[in-house]
Amino acid sequence: MRRKIYLALAIALVAVAPGLYAQDQVTIQKKLGSQFVLTKMTADKSDVAKTGSVLVLHKDGLILASTIAIAPLTNTYKNGTVSFGFGAKMAWGMAIGLGNQKAENIPQRKFVDGEKFWVTDYSVHDDGVVFLFYSDPFGDTRYYGQLKFPFQKGKFPAADDMMKTIAEVITVDTPQEGAASDAPAPAGAAESNATPAPAENAPQEAPKTIALGQTKDEVVGIFGQPQKIANLGAKEIYYYPDMKVTFVNGKVSNVE
């Protein structure tokens, strides 16, 4: 009888376990979604179509490859170290080989602590969390690649623990208010957002002048209507905010 009870409990635990794992997987996915806003790249991977979170790297050794590669290479974070191991190199070589590409012909770049890039995707698998990154261009080359945070297959860690592990390597850039951001920007953004520089040879407005002998119509044409007019027969005085113009017989005779 006791043996049957133990067997029933074991069967029940086996039945419940997949549901618990699925719940952990969903929780991790939700945590990722609340923290990282995905960037969208153009179809040819050449530019940023829609900006998302900018990530700051906190570990040395992240390898990304040129976007000419038909498949991204995959780094791994384990025991405090980011690496692109022999097995990952073999797998990547086989993947790009399907497009008749060779690893030695694909430009690669090692990113270090403090550098920044975009996150364009993340996914939770049964053996780890995988991110996809894109850099801004360096020279004529834009780089991309994956980073995997592995765990034992089917044994999802607590969501908070997983996020702490991820934060050891990458965090979202949060520039201080009022500080200039050095985050990567889509190509052409500088041109579209920049304040147009004044033309070097742009004509400057000629200063307004008044001369003896000018008519009342000429003065009004230059300075506009006066604030007040004093009519003294053959003599009239036009009052402006910072000037008084005297006319005799309809022509300027004095300016004060």
Q: What is the Cα–Cα distance from 165 to 158, expressed in whole angstroms? A: 11
Based on the structure, what is the number of domains in the chain?
2
- End-of-domain residue from the set 174, 203, 228: 174
In a domain, 77, yes or no: yes
Query: Are 6 and 124 within one domain?
Result: yes
Q: Cβ distance 77 to 59 under 8 Å?
A: yes
Query: Are 130 and 248 within one domain?
Result: no
Contacts 24+ apart (CB under 8 A), 192-201: none
Query: Are 44 and 136 within one domain?
Result: yes
Q: What is the Cα–Cα distance from 231 to 247, expressed in whole angstroms? A: 10
Pairing outcome for strands 74-78 and 143-150: parallel
* Residue 168: CB atoms within 10 Å: 13
- Structure confidence at residue 8 as a pLDDT band (50, 70, 90): very low
In a domain, 157, yes or no: yes
More confident residue, 97 or 242: 97
The 3-state DSSP class for residue 95 equals helix
* Cα-to-chain-centroid distance, residue 205: 41
How high is the pLDDT of residue 191? 47
Query: Are 115 and 166 within one domain?
Result: yes
Query: Are 41 and 128 within one domain?
Result: yes
- Summarised one tens digit per residue, pLDDT across range 130-144 is 999 999 999 999 999
Query: Are 164 and 40 within one domain?
Result: yes
In a domain, 190, yes or no: no
- Summarised one tens digit per residue, pLDDT across range 113-130 is 999 999 999 999 989 999
In a domain, 204, yes or no: no
More confident residue, 68 or 192: 68
Q: Which domain, by its residues, includes 243?
A: 216-255
Select from 252, 200, 203, 205 the least CA-distant residue to 226. 252
In a domain, 128, yes or no: yes
Query: Are 101 and 36 within one domain?
Result: yes
Burial of 238 (0-12, 13-18, 19+ CB in 10 A): buried
Query: Are 159 and 89 within one domain?
Result: yes
- End-of-domain residue from the set 174, 200, 227: 174
234 CB-near residues (< 8 Å, 6+ apart): 248, 249
How high is the pLDDT of residue 22? 61
Query: Are 165 and 246 within one domain?
Result: no
In a domain, 187, yes or no: no
Query: Residue 13 corresponds to which amino acid?
Result: L
Chain position carrying tokens 């490859």: 65
- Structure confidence at residue 11 as a pLDDT band (50, 70, 90): very low
Q: How many Cα neighbours within 13 Å face the side chain of 120?
A: 20
Q: What is the Cα–Cα distance from 162 to 164, expressed in whole angstroms? A: 5
- End-of-domain residue from the set 148, 174, 200: 174
The residue-averaged pLDDT of 76-98 equals 94
Residue spans of beta strands (DSSP E) within 70-227: 74-78, 81-83, 108-111, 116-125, 128-134, 143-150, 170-172
The answer to which of 51-60, 133-142, 181-190 has the lowest mean pLDDT is 181-190
How high is the pLDDT of residue 200? 52
Query: Are 233 and 165 within one domain?
Result: no
In a domain, 151, yes or no: yes
Query: Are 47 and 167 within one domain?
Result: yes
- Structure confidence at residue 25 as a pLDDT band (50, 70, 90): confident
Q: What is the pTM of this model?
A: 0.62
Query: Are 139 and 46 within one domain?
Result: yes
How high is the pLDDT of residue 190? 42
In a domain, 120, yes or no: yes
118 CB-near residues (< 8 Å, 6+ apart): 39, 41, 48, 51, 52, 53, 54, 55, 133, 134, 135, 136, 184
Asked whether the predicted pLDDT for residue 176 surpasses 70, the reply is no
